[in-house]
């Protein structure tokens, strides 16, 4: 097994693993990003994400994808967006090696911390993170707007032109 930085050629496989993660999280229809959008976001002129992959016998079987998040209270932090090891390779220490690599990245880049989300029913993941003495915050609720919702908000937006 090799842990390495993701390359553009990995994007198709990463999207397959992202779909596997969505199915595990009971949201198989929520993945709507195209391969082209995904590649551009990771390897285009204004790339926003980076990832490490776990490659076994030449096939990516796990990944940890992150981006830099800025907190006005804490400064630059690593945000772990997705973290997955394929089901058939779980329990072999691959997740630990990927997570350790992400922690090392946060240390090397001198980020002021790292954060991520975990579903409250995902006991295996929660137990994994507890081994790292992770803090869990029950106070904050997730909020979001879809592209369609944003497009439909024009009637609420204040005209900012001068």
Q: Let me know if 129 is a catalytic residue.
A: yes
Task: Write down the catalytic residue from 24, 66, 79, 129.
Answer: 129
DSSP-derived secondary structure for 91-160? TSSHHHHHHHHHHHHHHHTT-S-EEE---TT-HHHHHHHHTTT----SSPPP----HHHHHTTTTTSPP-
**In angstroms, what CA-CA distances link 26 with 19, 43, 122?**
10, 29, 11
Q: Which residues does the annotation mark as catalytic?
A: 129
């Amino acid at each position: 097994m090799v842990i390495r930085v993701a390359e553009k050629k990995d994007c198709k496989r990463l999207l397959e693993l992202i779909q596997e993660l969505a199915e595990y999280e009971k949201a198989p229809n929520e993945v709507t990003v195209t391969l082209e959008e995904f590649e551009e976001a990771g390897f285009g002129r204004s790339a926003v994400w980076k990832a490490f992959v776990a490659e076994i016998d030449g096939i990516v079987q796990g990944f940890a994808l992150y981006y830099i998040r800025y907190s006005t209270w804490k400064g630059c932090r690593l945000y772990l967006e997705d973290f997955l090891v394929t089901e058939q390779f779980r329990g072999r220490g691959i997740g630990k090696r990927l997570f350790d690599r992400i922690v090392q990245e946060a240390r090397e880049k001198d980020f002021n911390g790292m954060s991520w989300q975990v579903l409250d029913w995902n006991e295996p993941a929660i137990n994994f993170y507890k081994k790292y003495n992770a803090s869990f915050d029950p106070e904050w609720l997730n909020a979001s707007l879809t592209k369609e919702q944003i497009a439909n908000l024009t009637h609420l937006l204040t005209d900012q032109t001068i």
